Structure 1
Amino acid sequence: MTIETHQTQAPDDDVIDVEVVEPGRLDRLKEKAGPHAEKARAALTEQKVRVAIRVANWFKTADVSDAQLAEEIEKRRRQADQQQGRASHAPRAARAEVAPGAGVEGPVVVEAPVPVNQVPLQVPRVSADRMKVSGRDLSKARWAKKFGRFGMVAAGAYGAVNGIAMEPVLALAALGVGGPVGWWYLGRPLAEEETAAANSVDLVKGPGLDAAGEAGVPFVPQTLADAGRVSMVKRDPAHVRGEADLVTALIKAGIITEAQRDETHLAGVIEPSGPGWAATIELPRGVKASAAISRVADLASALRIKTTRIELTTDTTQEGHEGRARLWVADEDNPYGSQKTPSPLIKAPVWNFWEQGVPMGPDARGKRRDLHLLWSSILVGGLMGYGKSYMVRLIAAAAALDPTVRIIVITGKTGPDWAPLRHVAHQWIAGASPDIIRKVLRVMDRTITEMQDRGTELDRMYEENPDKVPEGKITPELAREGMGPVLLVVDELQELLDGAALIQVPVDEDTTGEGGRTKTRSGRDLLVESFARYVRVTRFVGGMGAFITQRPSADSVPTKLREVCGHRASYRVKGDKSARMVLGDDAVADGAAPHLLGEASKGVVVLDQGAEEGHVTLKADVIDLPEFKEIALRGRALRQDAGTLTGDAVAYGKEDRAAAATDMLLADCLAVLDAAGTDRARTERLVELLAAHRPGEYGELTNAQLQKRLRDAGAGTTGKLGPIDGMANPNGYTRTQIAAAQTGK
């Protein structure tokens, strides 16, 4: 309804005329349809934008990457070479002798057919220069594809016009069906990559290597610059804006010569990879990737960046070969970061060493890495204070949380580093005195004998029931029955060897030497042989070793022991000679470079697991000593429940056992209350919850015993709880008083 007002002409008249105009049905319909029409117009506008973006991207060939274009170009060139090779192998027409009188004077010599196995094989040579795909090649291929698509549209329009002229009804019907379907298909919501292509910025083709790059300048590889559609912004460019710059850097680094420039090219394109960029380099014929790897410091100098930012390895992919290298350059000088990463083992209640392995930490690109040590051993070396013990602590923590794993600890010095493992270790030895060295030799002999007896038992079981012992190795089922893996942790290997070198040990065979004296051998030689023999003969029955040394040299890392360790890890060392002592010649030749790590690389380790993928550089997770002790106590409880707590761990801490049991009781009380979703419980109910949580520890616990133990732990006596369990106000314990006792301790 509309109200119109009209003031009278009389100036002294205060009366206003009001005229009421009733809206019609059409006006009301327009008013109701207004919001819907606005939504429809907005939706249509949005669809128009999507259609325009998709059509523009299609005509610009934005849906085809440079890598795909390069593959198409290489494929066409290889096909052309193959056709040329087949043409060159066309059979030669045999010359036949013509009979007399045939119009040819003289005999025609008949060439005897050559046996197939004597025909020289001509293999077409595929030139590396011919296979090289430059930015100009990519640009030509993209424009050809654009013209092809314009031609397709023109041919389609021509066909549509002819169709309307010849069969107007059918043609219009087809357009009536295909038009809406095509509009819906083109107007659907854009995918992420389509939006990115639509929002791409103009490219700036970068200058040469000597040009000074600034942060924020578009990082445009030469192989992409001519394509005119890809933009990657690099925070701190390494002055490489394309293939030409990278090849120039290789020349300045002395990896190739100026004469080999045209022979050197990229396999694919430079591309972003995590917090950096990567490129695969096809080196000239006769130049090995290992030669380039040996000059990685020179390459860093040529790129004007720190060596820690470069990873250069041989391309081990299916397409790779000895003359192809894989380069990765980080955006920052320390791609591993300066923050500690807590290990997931800290909060894990239990761990499956068989299936989960050992969580190690992230590599430079942020990918988590695991170590699988079962059936093998590892040698860890590096300078003091860079994290060797922390890394092996990860291995020991994972083993401690698996009650099927037996742990033996031998350390060349006393101290708290490995003291928490006394709660779970079957054998725990610290020091390097002569008496301790003799004890170590006895423990190693006994352990090897036990493991060999295990192998004999496995042979017997395999004969009786092969399905129970597949491949003649222990299984998780056998481990739960008491035949679990054995982890030998040896720290301060160099101290043990130095201490063993001071003693002579009598030998059994030929006990008398010259002059009737007892024949002896160096304790050092016997210790090295014991460790190496353990690794060799116990591997298939679950024997594992983790050996730590901080002075990588021929004396501290005996070749006899190093060569039998399938896994190796090195923290920072001084010089490639020390790196080779730990990792071996092959790993260093393949790009492993712990000697290039800087002072800021604490916690960064080069890990070689002996697999085909080679080594990986990562920053190991951290477990501090208090957390390590908590893990060991959890491991002890797991072994007590499983019945696998053996050896020194059984007798350890008799004087401290009451305190440890008290700590565990308070922690278990809080855990069962939280699991039950309550903050209080009667004494009887709390006993039931504890017995269900840990039957081996609390299965026979009585109400009176629980009250006494909680009173001794500082939790006080029972108090009134209020209404609970259908009772008006029974006695019991609250979570607050138990938590206060735990905090007070």
Structure 2
Amino acid sequence: MTQPNDPGERPARDWDLFPDEPHDQMPDDGPVAEVVSIETARAGRHPYPPAEDAPTPTDPETPTGARVLGDAVQVDQPGGERRDWWAELEGKASTRRRIVPLWLRSRTEAVHTLSWMGRHYAHVTGYQLTHTPLYAGRLAYRSPRGLVRLVGGMVRWTFDLEGEPVRVAAVQKADPEIYLKLSRQRDSRVRLRVPIALAVLITLLIVALIVTAAPTAAQWGTLAVALAALGVLGKPADRPLIERAVLASTVEKLTSDIVIRALTALSIPGITQAMSKNPKDAIRFVAPITRDGPGWRADLDLPYGVTVGDVLDKRDRLSGALRRPLGAIWPEGDSSIHEGRLILWVGDKDLSKTIVTSPLLKATIHDVFKGIPLGNDPRGRAVKVPLIQHNVLIGSLPGQGKTATVRELGAGIVLDPTTEGWFHELKGTGDLDPYEKVCHRYVSGIHDEAIAYAADSLTLLRKEVMRRAATLKTLPPDLCPDKRVTRQIADKRSLGLHPLVCIIDECQNLFAHATYGAKAGEDAEFIIKLGRALGVVLILATQRPDKDSLPTGISANVSIRYCLRVAGQIENDMILGTSAYKNGIRATVFVPEADAGTGYLVGATPMPKVVKSAYLDTPQTQLIADRAHALRKAAGTLTGHALGEGPTVTAPTHDLLADILSVVGPAEVKVWNEIVVARLAELRPEVYGPWMELEADARAAQLTTALKPHGIKTGQVWGTPETGGKGANRRGITRDDITTAITQRDGKQGSGTGS
């Protein structure tokens, strides 16, 4: 074995590690000391042998800038910490921070911030001006004390009394040399200061005699300044002269240490592990923590593998970790960057204790084409709902502010005299009764007659959509270039294309109704899909968001969703859309009663937003309705129910069971659902035509849903396509089940009539 000091062993040199590289000098074997870079040595080590097809230095597939070692290519180069300044200049290797502040990027937010600053400083100025007499009295009261302090200070300065304790200490120590030095220093100071003090005293006496001899305005002003100066000198240390017009917030300033401490306390495994391994870089702040409205905003990247949803699940624990009320803690994500980007906003006040006043309460008129004010976000910024070309779905548990939200939207609708309102309140409590005097159609109740009225409204609305489509098609391109209703077109009353908004509160009582539900669901889906460009808007509110009470064709096509507190993930996604819960948009985090009126708004703003809706009580709603009635009366736009007209409620003009028997012959014992739907569409295209627009499986499911209220179940039946082909088992109906259901239904109706 060769020993380390054996002269036969040649020391390792850098050309041993890189034999293919040229060297300026290749010394002979001998005791030569060479310094080898450890990064270079490590770069030459390879844990695996090079592949046979590894690119060579002349291989065109060799990455540009890659270093070649033997037959292997080093992709990650040593010294990667060097900055690529050219790429940074081009903006490819860095993210430029915005020059414009956050609050100036939005016109609404800028106006809100500037108006707040204006109100703040106007209040401060007014407060201080009104308290000026009080401040003057305090100065006059404190001026004698100030005079005493001034005289005492002059005496101490003149006779150098400040140095007396030092001279006494020198005497006590029996140090004559130090005492004599201090005495000479004191004598020289006194000889210099006494004449100065006398001159000042004589000058003050002369000024006092002049002021008291012949007082003028200037002299009184001089006296006031002197008293003010003496009052300032006489101010107690614990009692400031000028009071604060605005008391400083007692809320603790949000810092990075507080945020990291709070997130660590959540016991999220990904955060805990990252903090234990690298506490400095586990949580990275991408921007400074700044004031954002009445609160603090922190933008940060969570550790790898941790999403915003993980933090939202523990919002209550985050509240405890930050020592702030739950209603002041509003974490949200920014999925446009990545799922780990957390925007934490901590407010000064609890949102649950805030009552948002509707701006429509004092509005004289409103334009629905500009959207309707809904409420404020946690930062106090106003949020509007764009109504035209949209439909709205509102959902929550009972008592969470759903009807109050409908009232707020209704206020914006009725204050536009060109908008026709069809309001249906299917709870029977009369929450929308103040608007009855301005509605073209109106009903309040939970009885079958009210349900039938609402179903009839959807039937009429479907016909109105078809009429408007035909009318819009005839308009010239210069008037209607985009084939959609605009304010210019809506103002032409002769065209009949004015905004028409239909509200159905507690719509689950309609869609789940055994008689009218199926047809109402079809009509609503048709209106939602086609009416948005024609000025027809549907606003639905429900407290039971499930597949039976809210057809999936409706929930899947509504563009604006507002979800107040709900019980679970299924209800959350029924209102806010599929995967909303997974993406961290969770209306389950709201606290019962405390967060009443607070919900997630999706579709009205670029990103989902928490909004506290404005509250209108019954007297306030009545004032708005009275104002709207006067507007419409002056404009001549009162129609229908508002004029006392009694519309006739028309029941559905078709019988699904009878229609099925008419298209399924007695010889057909069992028939596929898709075949029945195709035949029904040929029989009544205006009723069953939309079913044919669905996929084959969806058609079968549509018929199954329509038959469920009649107690008829579908199942797997054997059949063959009408165009020919192989037989198969598919979902279908049995004709005898239809016949039996009709017999039972007619028997019940006959029994009820006879009694």
Q: TM-score, normalised by structure 1?
A: 0.51
Q: SS of the residue aligned with 1:466?
A: coil
Alignment of 1:178-577 (within 5 A): 235-236=251-252, 241-242=257-258, 244-246=260-262, 248-249=264-265, 251=267, 255-257=271-273, 258-259=276-277, 261=279, 262-303=281-322, 305-316=324-335, 320-332=337-349, 334-338=350-354, 340-355=355-370, 357-461=371-475, 465-482=476-493, 483-498=497-512, 500-501=513-514, 503=515, 523-577=516-570
The 5-angstrom pairing of residues 547-626 of structure 1 reads 547-610=540-603, 613-626=606-619
Counterpart of 2:623, as a letter, is E
Separation (CA, whole Å) in 2 of partners of 1:285 and 1:128: 22
CA distance, structure 1, for counterparts of residue 331 and residue 77 of structure 2 = 29
Answer whether contact 2:455 2:510 (CA < 8 A) is retained: no
Q: Secondary structure at the match of 2:530?
A: helix
Judge conservation of contact 1:424–1:645 (CA < 8 Å) in 2: yes
CA distance in 2, matches of 1:126, 1:627: 72
Q: Aligned-pair distance for 1:236?
A: 4.6
> How far off is 1:116 after superposition?
6.4
Q: Compared with structure 1, are the counterparts of its residues 387 and 267 closer, same or farther at alpha carbon in structure 2 (3 Å cutoff)?
A: same
How far did 1:632 drift? Answer: 2.3
- In 2, distance between residues paired with 1:283 and 1:248? 11
Partners of 1:129 and 1:263 lie apart in 2 by 20
CA change 1:577–1:443 in 2 (3 A) is closer
Aligned residues: 421
Q: Structure 1 pair 347/128, CA: closer, same or farther in 2 (3 Å)?
A: farther
Q: Does the residue aligned with 1:361 lie in a helix, a strand or coil?
A: strand
Question: Are the counterparts in 1 of residues 270 and 305 from structure 2 also a CA contact under 8 Å?
Answer: no
Determine if contact 1:603/1:620 at 8 Å carries over to the other structure. no
> Structure 1 residue 458: deviation in Å?
1.0
Identity of matched residues, %: 28
CA contact (8 A) 1:361 1:369 kept: yes
- What secondary structure does 1:592 align onto? coil
In 2 relative to 1, CA 348–307 (structure 1 residues): closer, same or farther, beyond 3 Å? closer
Deviation at 1:538, TM superposition (A): 0.5
Distance 1:428 1:242, change over 3 A: closer
Q: 1: CA distance between counterparts of 2:510 and 2:595? A: 25
Q: Does the 8 A contact of 2:400 with 2:595 survive in 1?
A: yes
Q: CA separation in 1, counterparts of 2:605 and 2:63?
A: 40
Task: Show structure 1 runs of 5+ residues with no match.
Answer: 1-91, 96-110, 132-191, 193-231, 504-522, 655-745
TM-superposed CA distance for 1:491, in Å, is 0.8
Query: Does structure 2 retain, via aligned residues, the 8 Å contact 1:572–1:601?
Result: no
| Residues in 2 aligned to 1:125 and 1:377: alpha-carbon distance in whole angstroms | 56
Once the two structures are superposed, residues 415-464 of structure 1 have per-residue CA deviations (whole angstroms, 9 ceiling, x without a partner) of: 32122222121111233434443343332122111122111111111xxx
Change (3 A) 1:255 1:568: farther
Runs of 4+ in 1 over 6 A off after TM superposition: 92-95, 120-131, 237-240
Give deviations 1:209-254, integer Å, cap 9, x for gaps.
Answer: xxxxxxxxxxxxxxxxxxxxxxx98625789735652553355576
In 2, Cα distance between the equivalents of 1:419 and 1:307? 35
Return closer, same or farther for 1:253/1:545 CA change in 2, 3 Å cut-off: farther
- Alignment of 1:114 with 2:133, yes or no, is no
Q: Conserved in 2, the CA contact under 8 Å of 1:253 and 1:301?
A: no
> 1:298, CA displacement in angstroms?
4.5
TM-score, scaled relative to structure 2: 0.50
Evaluate the alpha carbon distance shift between residue 493 and residue 456 of structure 1 in structure 2; reply closer, same or farther with a 3 A threshold.
Answer: same
User: What is aligned with 1:513?
Assistant: none
Q: CA deviation at 1:489?
A: 0.4
Could you say what the CA RMSD is over the residues aligned between the two structures, in angstroms?
A: 3.8
Q: State how 1:77-96 maps to structure 2 within 5 Å.
A: none
Opposite residue 562 of structure 1, the aligned amino acid is S
The answer as to whether partners of 1:387 and 1:602 remain within 8 angstroms in 2 is no
- List runs of 5+ in structure 2 lacking aligned partners: 1-19, 24-55, 67-73, 84-120, 122-247, 648-755
Matches of 2:77 and 2:460, distance apart in 1: 63
CA gap of 1:600–1:422, structure 2 versus 1, over 3 A, is closer
Relative distance call for 1:344 and 1:112 in structure 2 (3 A) is closer
Alignment partner of 1:407: what SS? strand
Post-superposition Cα deviations, 1:59-83, rounded to whole Å, max 9, x if no partner, equal xxxxxxxxxxxxxxxxxxxxxxxxx
Q: 2: CA distance between counterparts of 1:128 and 1:649?
A: 76
| 1:632 match | 625
SS at 2:436 equivalent: helix
C-alpha displacement of 1:623: 2.1
Distance 1:253 1:598 in 2: 26
Q: Give the conservation status (yes or no) of the 8 Å contact 1:275–1:335.
A: no
The alpha-carbon deviation at position 375 of structure 1 amounts to 0.8
Structure 2: how far apart are the matches of 1:269 and 1:128?
27
Conserved in 1, the CA contact under 8 Å of 2:263 and 2:318? no
Distance 1:555 1:329 in 2: 39
